Amino acid sequence: MEEKNKIKKGYISEAIGTRNYFSYRADLVLYKVLLSMIVLLVIFFITSDLKFSILIAAEVFLIFTLVNKLNITRKRREGEEKLIYRLKTEHFRKKIEEINNDDFGMLIGFLFEKKGCRNFIKKGRHMFLAEKDGLINCIKIYKLYQGTELEKTDVRSMISFMCSSSIKIGYLVTTVEINEEAKKLLEKFEDKLHIEIIDSNALFNMMDEAGILPGKEYFSKKIYEEKSFVKKKSKLKNNVFDNKKIIVYVFAAVFFYITSAAMPNNTISIYISYYFILLTVVSGLYMIWVKYISKETGN
């Protein structure tokens, strides 16, 4: 049970990005309490009936508790999907890096066969001709190392072959980015040739649609076994001392102070107000330190 709770927290952390999980949950509680207290105060000023005001505020509190629960469930599902997608893309990149050029060519041939291409003929180095809907398609494959780019000379050789062979449809499969000069050359011939670029993202989608990549069950099992969550370096300013939250702290401090003045018997409100005043002061000092003093010290 404890392991499942950790996994659920991990999913939510994945969905909320840089924010801290406990800060996210604390914010939900804070907003819920503030809204309930606002309702309590408004109803009390209108009716002067404390019991009725507490009853309505309690109902609002329960409604927001249910809404927060639904939001957390939605965040957990989003986080699970996001994490599985990240693990799947990492798995894809690792396999592409490990595969040799010949096997990679066979993989591309298989994927294009799934798209309806037939009668493959190898034509030159890492180039295939294939027939689809009665037309000849040119498939040029470049499996390069990460950090490199597909250059203009690589694209020119494909364009030259297609023009000399009267082939109008081509597919440029590459595992790396295409540099600007190569892109301009492709744009120059886009009226004469239809060349579709199959980059890493498109290749990932093709492999996923073809069922080559493992399914959700494989990665879900991997998550439970390895707990493959991103370990965040939680920044205090992004969780407790965020400048947007200072506004909420000021509002909360003023609100609970007014509540204590309007309801003298409710002594807990004044202490809550003092807490938010202290949090506002500390947050303000921290933001000043981060924005001005730490920068000057670094320089």
pLDDT digits (tens, 9 = 90+) for 242-285: 656 677 778 777 877 777 777 666 676 777 777 778 877 877 77
Q: CA 10, 13, 17, 19 torsion: positive or negative? A: negative
Tokens representing 273? 């107000």
68 and 116 in a single domain? The answer is no
Structure tokens at 177: 């980015």
Q: In this structure, is residue 124 part of a structural domain?
A: yes
CA 95 to chain centre: 22
The tens digit of pLDDT for each residue in 143-169 reads: 888 778 888 988 998 999 999 999 999
- Dig out the tokens for 85 from the structure: 């997608």
Is the pLDDT reported for residue 236 higher than 80?
A: no
Compute the distance between CA of residue 24 and CA of residue 32 in angstroms, rounded to an integer.
13
Q: Which domain holds residue 289?
A: 2-97+218-293
Residue 118 and residue 89 in one domain: no
Residues 93 and 110 in one domain: no
pLDDT tens per residue across span 193-209: 999 999 999 999 999 99
Asked whether the predicted pLDDT for residue 294 surpasses 70, the reply is no
Q: pLDDT tens digits for 98-139?
A: 998 889 999 999 999 988 999 999 887 789 999 998 899 999
Is the residue at 298 inside a domain? no
Q: Does 209 fall in a domain? A: no
Using alpha carbons, select from 83, 38, 87 the residue that is nearest to residue 60.
38
Which amino acid does the sequence have at 75? K
- For the chain, what's the residue count? 299
What's residue 230's pLDDT? 52
Residues ≥6 apart with Cβ < 8 Å to 289: none
Q: Tell me how many domains the chain contains.
A: 2
Global pTM value: 0.66
Position 244 scores a pLDDT of 62
Q: Positive or negative, the Cα torsion across 97, 102, 105, 110?
A: negative
Position 34 confidence tier, pLDDT thresholds 50, 70, 90? confident
Listed residues 169, 198, 227: the one ending a domain: 198
